[in-house]
Amino acid sequence: MCLIVLALDAHPRHRLVVAANRDEFYARPTTPARWWSDAPGVLAGRDLQEGGTWMGVTRAGRFAAITNYRETAPPRPGAPSRGALVAGFLRGTMEARAYAEEVAARGAAYNGFNLLVGDEDGVFYVSNRAEGVHRLQPGVYGLSNALLDTPWPKVLRARAAMRSAVSSPEADGWESGLWEMLGDRVIAADGHLPDTGVGADLERLLSAPFIASDVYGTRASTVLTIGREGEVTFVERSATPDGAGEARHRFRIGEP
């Protein structure tokens, strides 16, 4: 993922609302969100190159998502797959806090990442570019390819869209503002761009919530809600230069 915004205990009907974009090279093989045949309780897309995922949820209500941490140095060859950190949590039974602490202890083996994991006891954030494990308090958070709530333009816009959505929860189609944000291709003004060492042209391209270029861009947009009574909705809209699709899933936590 390259953009995740979430509302934790900020909506009267949903304990968790997540809106996220996954950015990746179009050539990297991927399957859309579906129930995994080798882990039937896991609902997620799948990276067919390494076997992991960027975001998913389980029938038990476990949630996880990851973003890469943007750095000027090239990724370290041979490092384990960061997508395996998400898959490992979704496949397992370890409590979210304990899993985050275990990941923090071995995080140096990976290229830079930000990981969110959650279960019925809370949502936790861990990065191998920051110290410790952080339990999220109720509120709205944004994450891109820097640390949690780093005020990049698209993070600020995404958080604003989430706050607006959860502030009018009884309105019909309240999620529409989240989809509009996830599809936003407006590039930030030069004066607001971060300086992450990748050059001005690439900073501009990457500043939009929805990225589109010839070889790299937003491959999937997802809205996830987990209701206070256990109902889960997971909608993924995929997009490539060759076409688009939608996967829509609804289930109740604990039901087969």
Would you give per-residue pLDDT tens digits along the chain (256 residues)? 699 999 999 998 999 999 999 999 999 999 999 999 999 999 999 999 999 999 999 999 999 999 999 998 888 999 999 999 999 999 999 999 999 999 999 999 999 999 999 999 999 999 999 999 999 999 999 999 999 999 999 999 999 999 999 987 666 678 999 999 999 999 999 999 999 999 999 999 999 999 999 999 999 999 999 999 999 999 999 987 667 889 999 999 998 7
pTM: 0.95
Q: What is the dihedral of CA 99, 77, 149, 177, to 10 degrees?
A: -90
Q: How many residues does the chain have?
A: 256
The token pair at 23 is: 């950015």
Domain boundaries, the chain: 3-252
Bridge-partner residues for 115, per DSSP? 66, 126
Q: Please state, in angstroms and rounded to a whole number, the distance separating the CA atoms of residues 115 and 82.
A: 9
According to the model, what pLDDT value does residue 70 have? Answer: 95
Q: Do the beta carbons of residue 211 and residue 24 sit within 8 Å?
A: no
According to the model, what pLDDT value does residue 171 have? Answer: 62
- Assign domain 3-252 one CATH number from 1.10.150.120, 3.40.1260.10, 3.60.60.10, 3.30.70.100: 3.60.60.10
According to the model, what pLDDT value does residue 169 have? Answer: 62
Q: Please state, in angstroms and rounded to a whole number, the distance separating the CA atoms of residues 137 and 140.
A: 9
According to the model, what pLDDT value does residue 241 have? Answer: 67
